[in-house]
Amino acid sequence: MTLWWNVTLPEQVFASLENVQVRFDTIVVDEAQDFALLWIETLKPLLDPDGPQRMLLLDDERQDLFGRGYVLPDA
C-alpha cells in the first residue's frame, strides 16, 4: 500500500493534470503532520494560477503518528 500512496497516486495525479478543469483558490489540509511532503507537492498544481494560490496546513507536530517526514513549511 505504501507504493500506491508514495508512487502510484502522485504519478497518476501529475499525469492527469491536463484533464483537471477545476482549480482552487485555497486548499485546506487538516492533520498535515500525517502527510508526506510529496503529497503536499501533489496538491500544489491544483491551485488556480490566476488565484491567490493559498494552502492552509493545519498540523500538530505532537500528533505525528506516521513519521512521513512532514516539516512545517516556511510562511
pLDDT digits (tens, 9 = 90+) for 18-48: 999 999 999 999 988 888 888 888 999 999 9
74 is written with which cell numbers? 516556511
Secondary element (H or E) of residue 57: strand 54-57
CA–CA separation, 6 vs 28, rounded Å? Answer: 20
Q: Is the pLDDT of residue 75 over 70?
A: no
Q: Does a structural domain hold residue 32?
A: yes
Give how many domains the chain has, as a whole number: 1
Q: Does a structural domain hold residue 62?
A: yes
1 is written with which cell numbers? 500500500
Cβ atoms within 10 Å, residue 70: 20
Domain that holds residue 57: 22-75
Cβ atoms within 10 Å, residue 35: 20
pTM of the complete model: 0.76
Q: Is the pLDDT of residue 67 over 80?
A: no
CA–CA separation, 75 vs 70, rounded Å? Answer: 15
